[in-house]
Amino acid sequence: MSDSSRPPVDSMQTLRKVLGVVGSYTHLLVVSILLAGLSVVLQLYVPILFGDAIDQIVAPGAVSFDALRSILKKIAVLVVVSSAATWVMNIINNRLAFQTVKDIRSRAIRQLQKLPLSYLDAHSSGDIVQRIIADTDQLSDGLLLGFTQLFSGIITIVITLAFMLSKNVGITLMVLVLTPVSFLVARFIATRSYDMFGKQTETRGRQTALVNELIGNQKVVKAFGREAVASRQFAQVNEELQDYSQSAVFFSSLTNPSTRAVNNVIYALVALVGARLILGGSLTVGGLTVLLSYANQYMKPFNDISSVVTELQNALACAARVFELIEAEPEVPEAQDELFSRGGWIDIEDVSFSYDKEKPLIQGFSFHAKPGMKTAIVGPTGCGKTTFINLLMRFYDVDAGSISVDQQDVRDVTRHSLRKAYGMVLQETWLKNATVRENIAFGRPDATDDMIIQAAREAHSWEFIRRMPQGLDTVITDESLSQGQKQLLCITRVMLCLPPMLILDEATSSIDTRTELQIQEAFDKLMQGRTCFVVAHRLSTIREADQILVMRDGRIVEQGTHDSLLEQGGFYAKLYRSQFAGTETD
């Protein structure tokens, strides 16, 4: 609680931002708070009325039915009003929470499409998904509902105290003084079980890792006849876990009985003191009933509030993460002009670029490609060939120098018009979880089935599409296609658009020869007469290229033709010999 009493400045800011999102629903929030107040007051007042009612039933002949009936009628009305208030409040809270989440998510997805790649590359996709989905939920649950709960909790405590005081000051003070005891007990147990939970979590983590490793590779375990060893290994962790779990489960389940016991003692004390006061004439039986039921109820908001406070802090942290995403700097604004494509001249002039300003990557790089020219990008795995793609497609902007397409600087035209001029097939084959048709027509939603089938034929994908259960209407899932088939679909997708320039990423060894041949043929068909950049793995592609860019550790280290580069005897020559030596000597 002490942490929350002085919230740091930035969490105040976050809170303001959340209220900004709530903005259009402010009236709902206000109504919700009013209703919360109303229902709490009524719910607390009803036991008092019941107490009064009981006071009308003293003994045979001493029952005042008139007074009793009027009290009971009053209760009936209040109970109905209070139930209605709670119901409406619940519905409003739901609406408030779900609409806010919806609004935040919809802002987030818009932001996602506008964020620079540098932001997205620097954050794991799991982390961003977490912000958009889970953190947003937490934000609405914790912050909005937490707020109403906190509010009604405080009202409950204040009013309970007021009502109790109105019945009897002494007993109220006694309850006030004794209440913290149950907190102390709960705190004491919590710290004990926290230790055990830590050990349980740690051991369970090890066990899960072991299960993932061994069961995940069960075939290897069997291939080496290691079943018995695996069982022994597992048994060891499993027994360790048993000890910790048993203690953790036990200790954590002590909180409730302990606080209940403390409450029961308080209850007994209230009964004792109350009874003596009744004898002394300063309290009625009805009053005692009220005090007893309050003594029980009084604890609840305290427990609620302490859990709400934790939740609020948690929710604020989540909100901060969500806003960090939503308010991240979007891409530099668009130019207005469309790219006017005239065949695909590409001029890279004196370009410098780096992801991290501390580590310069590309410096003073110049390069020119004529329409129809084929450029191979070569280098060992992990040499940063994607950097090149990033710059051409303007996923990243250059730090200095310029890249122009058909004499237009890429920064002076819209991103869409630039990107439409390129066809891109990456090695990481990304397909939507949608039908084959939707995937192929991704870049051209208006394409007819005939056009789609024609493109599929040319890209050699029609053969397997035809054999799929629902043909073009088959929904693609991650497992339903082989790597090679995915690649063919990605090619088909570009085949349908036929842009003037191409960026291709050749497949590596995971694809079998026949499919690779089909992919190669499809690539060749695509490349005819287009300016192409090929991240090349195949010797024939490299040899046929008009120009070769050799990359190493993210830098472009050499450029030239196959023969001129071999003659240079530099990195390319070395790479060529180590990668393809087998062809010459074997």
Partner 1 sequence: MRDLLAFLRDYRKESILAPLLKLAESLMDLLVPLVVAAIINQGIAESDEGAIFRFFLLLIVLAILGMAFSFSAQWMAAKASVGFSTKLRQALFDHIQSLSYRELDTLGTDTLITRMTSDINQIQNGLNLGLRLLLRSPFIVFGAMIMAFTIDVPSALIFAVAIPALSLVVFGIMLLSIPLFAKVQGALDRLLGMTRENLTGVRVIRAFCKEQQEIEEFDRRNDLLTSMNEHVGRLSALMNPATYLIINVATIFLINQGALRVELGALRQGDVVALYNYMAQIVVELVKLASLIITLNKSLACARRVQEMLDVKPSMEYPTSLPAELPQTDEAVRFDHVTFSYASSGDAVLSDIDFLAQKGQTVGIIGGTGSGKTSVVNLIPRFYDTTTGTVTVDGMDVRNYPAGELISRIGIVPQKAVLFEGSIRDNLRWGNEDASDDELWAALETAQAAEVARGKDGQLDAMIEQGGRNLSGGQRQRLTIARALVKRPEILILDDSASALDFATDLALRRAIANLPGTMTVFIVSQRTSSVREADQILVLDDGELAGIGTHDELMEKCPVYQEIYYSQFPDERPSAARGHAGEEVAR
Which lies closer to partner 1 via its Cβ, residue 352 or residue 483? 483
**3 or 412: whose CB is closer to partner 1?**
412
Confirm if 345 and 371 have CB atoms less than 8 A apart: yes
471: left (phi over 0), alpha (psi -120 to 50) or beta: left
In whole angstroms, the minimum distance from the beta carbon of 463 to partner 1 comes to: 10
Question: What is the closest distance, in whole angstroms, from the C-beta atom of residue 423 to partner 1 in the complex?
Answer: 8
Nearest residue (CB) to partner 1, 15 versus 419? 419
Give the C-alpha separation, 346 to 411, whole Å.
14
CB of residue 509 vs partner 1: minimum separation in angstroms?
A: 5
- Tell the smallest beta-carbon distance from residue 341 to partner 1 (Å): 14
- Closest approach, Cβ 10 to partner 1, in A, equals 26
Which amino acid is located at 163 in the chain? F
How far apart are the C-alpha atoms of 421 and 343, rounded to whole Å? 10
What the block records as the tokens of 385 is 């060939």
- H-helix or E-strand spanning residue 560: strand 555-560
Q: Closer CB to partner 1, residue 91 or residue 400?
A: 91
Q: How far is the CB of 392 from partner 1 (least distance, A)?
A: 10
119/367 with CB nearer partner 1:
119
Q: How many CB atoms lie within 10 A of CB 536?
A: 24
Contact 22, 29 (CB under 8 A): yes
Based on CB atoms, which residue is closest to partner 1, 15 or 408? 408
Q: How far is the CA of 142 from the CAs of 7, 11, 134, 139, 317, in angstroms?
A: 16, 14, 12, 5, 10
| Nearest CB to partner 1, comparing residues 15 and 308 | 308
Q: Whole-number minimum distance, CB 552 to partner 1, in Å? A: 16
Cα–Cα distance for residue pair 267/280, rounded to 1 Å? 20
User: Which of 128, 309 has the CB closer to partner 1?
Assistant: 128
CA 53 to chain centroid, in Å, comes to 54
180 vs 257, beta carbon nearer partner 1: 257
Nearer to partner 1, 278 or 363 (CB): 278
Please tell me whether residue 348 adopts helix, strand or coil conformation.
strand
Question: What percent of the chain is helix, strand and coil (3-state, nearest 5)?
Answer: 70, 10, 20
Shortest Cβ distance from residue 544 to partner 1 (Å)?
Answer: 5
First CA to last CA across the chain, in angstroms? 75
8 vs 529 by CB, closer to partner 1: 529
Considering only the C-alpha atoms of the chain, give the largest distance between any 2 of them, rounded to a whole number of Å: 121
Query: Smallest Cα–Cα separation from 215: which of 238, 231, 235, 232?
Result: 231
DSSP 8-state secondary structure symbol assigned to residue 555 = E
Q: Give me the least distance between CB of 263 and partner 1, in Å please.
A: 8
In 370-487, beta strands by DSSP E:
374-378, 400-405, 408-409, 422-425
Rounded to whole angstroms, how far apart are CA atoms 580 and 521?
Answer: 22
- Smallest gap from Cβ 20 to partner 1, in A, equals 20
Angle (nearest 5°) at CA 416 between 411 and 417 = 75
Shortest reach from residue 458's CB to partner 1, in Å: 13
Q: What is the CA radius of gyration of the chain?
A: 36
Per residue, the 3-state secondary structure of 498-518, as one string, reads: CCCEEEEECCCCCCCHHHHHH
> Which is nearer to partner 1, 13 or 188 (by Cβ)?
188
Nearest approach, Cβ of residue 224 and partner 1 (Å)? 5
3 state SS for 449-482:
HHHHHHHHHHCCCHHHHHCCCCHHHCECCCCCCC
What does DSSP assign to residue 412?
G
* Close Cβ partners of 251 (under 8 Å, ≥ 6 residues apart): 189, 192, 193, 196
